[in-house]
Structure 1
Amino acid sequence: MSDTFNLDVWINEARREPFRFEVSGRTFALTPAGELDKSILKSVNVSAPSPEDIESLLTAGLGDQWARFDELPLPLAALGELFRQWQNHEGAPVGESPASADS
């Protein structure tokens, strides 16, 4: 038995379902936030995201779908709600994980 923690196994087992949503008759899928590359942490404040941070996170989450999504006219409030629903889908706000039982 190995005492080495295998992060690759954890990553594969922790995969979540994408957050799917529809707008203007088009369907999109946001990558689970926990699967975004850690490099995003250098450019956004995940604990108190600004509107620019939210846009950066949505851009990263949508990946190659961003261009199609970005061409749609949407009110700012809709982006905020999309971000909240994505967080709800994750089960915890982006950047936070549930506390452990001994916290």
Structure 2
Amino acid sequence: MGNAFDLDVWVKEARKEPFRFTLAGLVFTMPAAGELDKAILKAVNVDNPSATDIETLLKHGLGDQWKQFDDVPAPLAALGELFRQWQKHEGTPLGESSASADS
């Protein structure tokens, strides 16, 4: 068996800087969107996320910080913008890649 592609090495080399943002003077940190575990694909439609999907993605991204984030009032439009900025930080919106059919 020849050389196997080492996905573990690729994951380590592809790591991006965490995404940081503030709300009500608090600093929150999330991994780059593309670093969420693949299990999230069973819970959301990443190609066309609904408001519930966006909330689920943010919950997964914020992890232990979710409760603190959720306790701070914020307009719905702010959540949409937060999601867009998180995607922008990744460089490729969720559901799209350089290998996608409509590229």
Asked if these proteins are the same fold (TM beyond 0.5), I'd say yes
Distance 1:19 1:96 in 2: 19
> Residue type matched to 1:6 in 2?
D
Shift of 1:98: 2.5
> What CA deviation, in whole Å up to 9, does each residue of 1:53-97 have, x standing for no partner?
000000000111101000000110000000000011111111222
- TM superposition outliers: structure 1 runs of 4+ over 6 Å: none
Matches within 5 A, 1:31-42: 31-42=31-42
Query: What runs of 5+ residues in structure 1 fail to find an aligned partner?
Result: none
> Residue type matched to 1:38 in 2?
K
Query: What runs of 5+ residues in structure 2 fail to find an aligned partner?
Result: none
Shift of 1:33: 1.2
Shift of 1:99: 4.0
> Residue type matched to 2:26 in 1?
R
Match of 1:17 in 2: 17
Distance 2:71 2:61 in 1: 16
User: Which structure carries more relative contact order (alpha carbon 8 Å, separation 6+)?
Assistant: 2
Match of 2:30 in 1: 30
Distance 1:73 1:54 in 2: 17
Distance 2:21 2:92 in 1: 18
Computed over aligned residues only, the root mean square deviation of the Cα atoms, in angstroms, reads 1.4
Matches within 5 A, 1:1-103: 3-99=3-99
Distance 2:98 2:24 in 1: 34
